[in-house]
């Protein structure tokens, strides 16, 4: 069974309530951790960076505390804007800095948890979402698409398939990897 949860990770009561609801379903073996603020969040840079990485770490720690006996695999969501591609044309330095920190946290957890559970990350490139759709016809976006070796932007399913692979027993010997899901754009 899978449960998708949207919660304000900066509100401890919401997080705790969500864990209670989740645990009522039974032990949780897997976590896809996409916690953090929006890339255009306002406020002091250092505070926003701490929130971005701290919220992801807090969700992971809550999962580990409750599910350590059955925990099999955790996948954090990072981005190629973190440490594979640089900041590109992002509006704020927060986004690439936070995503680079998530990649580093992923590698740290993978080694410090001794591979139990396995901890990996997926680093999507530009993925077509409702936030991106209004920009698809712009010349800037068309220029980006032209640089992607597979000739298109990502679909949510592309990211989901990579996450499912990393969660699955097929990836049993993969730990500490930040997997780009970007159509090859970081190589171009």
More confident residue, 25 or 1: 25
Answer yes or no: is 187 within a domain: no
173 has catalytic annotation: no
Catalytic residue among 19, 30, 63, 95: 95
What predicted TM-score, i.e. pTM, was given to this entire model?
0.90
Query: Which range marks the domain in which residue 164 is found?
Result: 12-181
Residue-wise pLDDT tens digits, 87-107: 556 567 888 889 999 999 999
By the 8 A CB rule, do 152 and 174 touch? no
Residues 6 or more apart whose CB falls under 8 angstroms from that of 179 comprise 120, 121, 122, 123, 162, 166
Residue-wise pLDDT tens digits, 144-175: 899 899 999 999 999 999 999 999 999 999 99
**How many other β-carbons are positioned within 10 Å of the β-carbon of residue 110?**
21
Please give the tally of structural domains in the chain: 1
Of 176, 188, 182, 32, the residue nearest 112 (C-alpha): 176
Answer yes or no: is 159 within a domain: yes
Answer yes or no: is 102 within a domain: yes
Answer yes or no: is 48 within a domain: yes
> What average pLDDT is seen over the chain?
88
Answer yes or no: is 186 within a domain: no
The answer to whether residue 86 scores a pLDDT higher than 70 is: no
Answer yes or no: is 110 within a domain: yes
Residue-wise pLDDT tens digits, 52-64: 898 899 889 989 9
Answer yes or no: is 2 within a domain: no
Which CATH number do you get for residue 118? 3.40.50.720
* Per-residue pLDDT, 170: 97
Answer yes or no: is 24 within a domain: yes
- Give the integer Cα–Cα distance in Å for 73 and 124: 19
By the 8 A CB rule, do 50 and 37 touch? no
């Amino acid at each position: 069974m899978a449960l998708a949860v949207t919660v304000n990770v900066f509100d401890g009561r919401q997080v705790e309530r969500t864990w209670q609801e989740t645990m009522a379903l039974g032990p949780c073996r897997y976590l896809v951790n996409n916690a953090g603020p929006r890339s255009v969040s306002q406020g002091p840079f250092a505070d926003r960076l701490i929130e971005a990485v701290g919220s992801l770490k807090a969700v992971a720690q809550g999962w580990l505390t409750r599910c350590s006996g059955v925990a099999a695999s955790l996948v954090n969501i990072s981005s190629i804007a973190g440490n594979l591609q640089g900041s590109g044309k992002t509006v704020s330095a927060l986004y690439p800095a936070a995503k680079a920190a998530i990649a580093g946290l992923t590698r740290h957890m993978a080694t410090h948890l001794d591979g139990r559970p396995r901890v990996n990350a997926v680093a999507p490139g530009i993925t077509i979402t409702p936030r991106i759709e209004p920009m698809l016809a712009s010349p800037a976006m068309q220029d980006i698409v032209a640089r992607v070796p597979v000739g298109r932007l990502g679909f949510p399913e592309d990211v989901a398939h990579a996450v499912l692979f990393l969660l699955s027993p097929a990836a049993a010997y993969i730990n500490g990897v930040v997997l780009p899901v970007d159509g090859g754009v970081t190589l171009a």
